[in-house]
Structure 1
Amino acid sequence: MYAAERQQEIVRIARESGRVDVVSLAAEFRVTAETVRRDLKTLDRAGMLRRVHGGAIPVGHFELEPDLSERESTAGEEKARIAQAALEELPADGSVVLDAGTTTGQLAAAFPLAAELTVLTHALPLAARLADHPAIDLHLVGGRVRHRTRAAVDDWALRTYREINADVLFLATNGFSPEGGLTTPDLAEAAVKRELIAAARRVVLLADSSKHGQEHFARFGRLSQIDLLITDTGLDPATARDIEAQGTEVARV
């Protein structure tokens, strides 16, 4: 296969899948990783892809924030495993903050009915899932609700989270990497996430491996601020070691 043919195929895969990574492309086309990196560099210069850590994404996808329903249908099995593993991190009779997200939503849906916890969240779907748990002391944090994520943002939410000191935060993100940190497309959501990190003694990040290497407009934290990352086995072991070198424990489930 000529380079031009291979590059055309890379663009097609990126548009269908939302992103491509160097390792998978090298295996797919039976070429070296360096050859793939040259292809991605060529396509980036041509404006057909945008390079990110470990791969590339289609132009126009970089700041696209999928709707909640679209995100709920992505990596469903991986998110379910991550949510089940996260149950082990629930404190006994303690306080928990749940960030807005589809994986944190799966965690909320998996909460035991008899769990005796104080739970705070600014995410309407998560609050609805926990509202019928009689042993949970549920607090819904208010603010302006973003339609795309069904989450409260802005001053009211920020002030509330500044006033608490929770045992565990279950955090969500749109992208993460050792170099780029934690990112999300929206500045208002990023501001809330910063306050969430400051509001908890232990921070557990729930993020499937497809989010690794994704970089978005608003950076809200560093991986070194995360105590535990729960992800799936799609995350490369070498990358997991790089993250652990920053002081973050990594669980691949």
Structure 2
Amino acid sequence: MNTNPRQLQLLAAVRERGSMSVDQLADMLGVTLQTVRRDVQRLADDGALTRFHGGVRIPHSTIENLGHRQREVLNAEGKARIARAVARQVPHDCSLMLNIGTTTEAIAKALLQHRGLRVITNNLNVATILSQNPECEVIVAGGVVRARDLGIVGEAAVDFIRQFKVDIALIGISGIEADGTLRDFDYREVKVAQTIIQHAREVWLAADASKFNRAAMVEAATLSQIQRLFTDQPPPEPFPALLAEAGVRLDVAEDD
């Protein structure tokens, strides 16, 4: 692929954030929307990017997620903003569940100053982070540990989660499709996430902009099953209407 410097800059920006709208790219590059659309089409034709309505994202498989380290650095700034926005809304002295994901790990870091938390998780990274907070009691689900990201999955984890009913579930997800379904890649992970959703009085979804229009294989839930969505950019179409129809409160994390 013979790309010019502007297209290389465009590609690097999308890879850093995971996804961007055409308007954002035009503003960043200081060019017209028509120019961006031509560049995007060129990069999409070469397989470097994937287009969706109003924007573009890095290509992803529908059957296998990115590696944990790749996901940690992908849109890390946006995830940190989301985490701080979530933490500002989490009250002291409450019970939480956090599932597997780099966004929930960012949220755990943002909760290190909270008092009186009782946290149940199937994510050993979350448990390690929050164990540094002496005001937080961490309860870890039993089950099979996935070596690639230290997530705990399987029937034992499902059975463990069923014992509890918490104030808030803080969940991450791999993709939100245009029909309003929340999807992930590992059915064993999804089974635990579904149980977490069922055993929380409120469900808050934390998902950066790269998750919109991202396809994955296994359905975990629908937007109608969550109460709040925290993200780092205004969602593209058709998500504003889907969120309104489902009665989901949208929180777009601003720069601090």
TM range (shorter): 0.7 to 0.9
More contact order relative to length (CA 8 Å, sep ≥ 6): 2
Aligned positions, number: 241
Q: Over residues 195-235 of structure 1, what are the superposed CA-to-partner deviations in whole Å (9 max), with x where a residue is unaligned? A: 11101000000111111110100111001111000001253
Aligned equivalent of 1:165: 165
Equivalent pair of 2:94/2:118 in contact (CA under 8 Å): yes
Counterpart of 1:245 in 2: which secondary structure? helix
Return structure 1 stretches of 4+ with deviation > 2 angstroms: 16-33, 46-64, 233-242
Aligned partners of 1:133 and 1:247: how far apart in 2? 34
Deviations 1:22-69 (A, max 9, x none): 666899774499x88xx69x95xx999777666666766333411111
Match of 1:175 in 2: 175
SS of the counterpart of 1:189?
A: helix
Moved more, 175-184 or 22-31: 22-31
Does 1:202 find its partner at 2:202? Answer: yes
Query: CA distance change for structure 1 residues 184 and 226 in 2, over 3 Å: closer, same or farther?
Result: same
For 1:227, the equivalent position in structure 2 comes to 227
TM-score when scaled to structure 2?
0.78
| CA distances 1:106-137 after superposition (whole Å, capped 9, x unpaired) | 11112144510111011011100111322212
Question: Aligned AA for 1:77?
Answer: E
- Consecutive unaligned residues of structure 2, counting only runs of 5 or more, are none
Question: Aligned pair 1:187/2:181, yes or no?
Answer: no
AA of the residue aligned to 2:121: T
- Report percent identity of matched pairs: 29
Q: Distance in 2 between matches of 1:89 and 1:159?
A: 29
Cα 1:240–1:162 change in 2 (3 A) is: same
Q: Which residue of 2 aligns with 1:127?
A: 127
CA contact (8 A) 1:175 1:182 kept: yes
CA distance in 2, matches of 1:146, 1:214: 23
Unaligned regions of 5+ residues in structure 1, if any?
none
Q: Aligned residue for 2:155?
A: 155
Q: Is the contact made by 1:164 and 1:199 (CA closer than 8 Å) also made in structure 2?
A: yes
Is the contact made by 1:52 and 1:215 (CA closer than 8 Å) also made in structure 2? no
Give the superposed CA RMSD: 3.4
Contact 1:143 1:157 in 2 (8 A): yes
